[in-house]
Amino acid sequence: MGKIRTPYLLLLPGFLFLFTFFILPIVNLAQTSTQTPIAGGDTGQYEQTLRFQNYIDAFIENREQFSRSFVYALIATVLALMISYPLAYAIAFKAGKYKNFLLVLVVAPFFTSFLLRTVAWKQILGEEGFVVPTLRTLGIISPSTTLTSTAFAVVMGMTYNFLPFMTLPLYASIDRIDPRTLEASGDLYANAFTTFRKVTLPLSMPGVVAGTLLTFIPAAGDYVNAAILGSPNTKMIGNVIESRYFKIVDYPTAAALSFTLMAAILILVTIYIRKAGTEELV
C-alpha cells in the first residue's frame, strides 16, 4: 500500500503549487471577468452580476490590439525561426569542441534583466546607435526616418528577447539526429538541399514545433517591448490589459481580455499542433 501511495505523495507538492498559483488565480480571474461596477461605489469597486457581455464588449473595443498582437508575434516567431535554425544546426554539427561555449552564449542574455535588454535595443535603434546612421549612409532609409517608436522596433525587440526559446529546442532536436542518416542520404545521390528537405527538416520538426510554440505564446501576450520600443499606435493587447489593471482600475475588462487572449492562443496552438504535429513527421 505504501508503494502505491508514494507516486501520489511525490506529485502532491507540485499539485499544491499549481493549485495555489495557477488554478486559484484562474478561478478568481474568471469570477472577476463577469463583474460590474457597484452603483454609487468608488472606483475599483465591483459586484458579481454574471455579465458575460463583458467579453464581447472588451473584444470589440480592443480588436485592433488583438490582431496586432498576433501579427507581431507571428512575424517575430518566423524571424526567430529563420535565425535560430541555421544557428542550432551549426552548433549541433559544426561547432565541435566549441559546442558548449556557443550554447552558453545563446543563454547568456538570460543573465540580464528582460527590461534592461529591451532598453538596450531602444539605444541600438535610436539616433545615438549605429543602426540608423549606417542605414542612412547606405541610402536604405531617408535622413528623417527613425526606427524607434515603430512596429519594426517592437518586432525586432520581441525577436531578440525570445530568440533563445527558439534556439534551444531546435538544438536539442537537431543534435539527436544521427549523422549517419545524412551520410546515407548522400550515398543515395541526394544533394544537400534534398537531404535537408527529406531528412534533416522532418527529423527536427519536434524542435521546430516546440520552439515556435515557446516563442509565439509569450510573444502574443508581451507588453514590455511595445511599451518601451513602440508608440500608442503599436500597442498590443498586453499593454491594454496592463493599463486596465493598474491605471484605469477596470478589473472586469482586464480579466475578460486575459481570458479571451488565453482562449485565442489555446485555439491557435491546438490547430497548429494538429496541422504540424510531430507524430506523423518522425
Give the mean pLDDT per block of 10 residues along the chain (282 residues): 74 92 92 90 85 94 95 97 95 90 91 91 88 89 88 95 95 91 83 88 92 95 93 94 92 94 92 71 40
Q: How many CB atoms lie within 10 A of CB 278?
A: 15
Position 183 scores a pLDDT of 84
* 220 and 265 Cβ atoms separated by less than 8 Å: yes
Position 2 scores a pLDDT of 56
Q: How far apart are CA 69 and CA 76, in angstroms?
A: 11
- Domains in the chain, CATH or no CATH each: 63-99+161-276 (1.10.3720.10)
* 108: Cα separation from own chain's centroid: 18
Position 10 scores a pLDDT of 86
Nearest CA-CA partner of 252 in 68, 53, 63: 53
Position 277 scores a pLDDT of 59
Q: How far apart are CA 89 and CA 87, in angstroms?
A: 5
Nearest CA-CA partner of 118 in 219, 214, 229: 229
State which amino acid sits at residue 139.
G
Position 154 scores a pLDDT of 96
Nearest CA-CA partner of 174 in 274, 237, 245, 88: 88
Q: What are phi and psi of 20, to 5 degrees?
A: -75, -45
Position 280 scores a pLDDT of 45
99 burial level (CB within 10 Å; 0-12, 13-18, 19+): middle
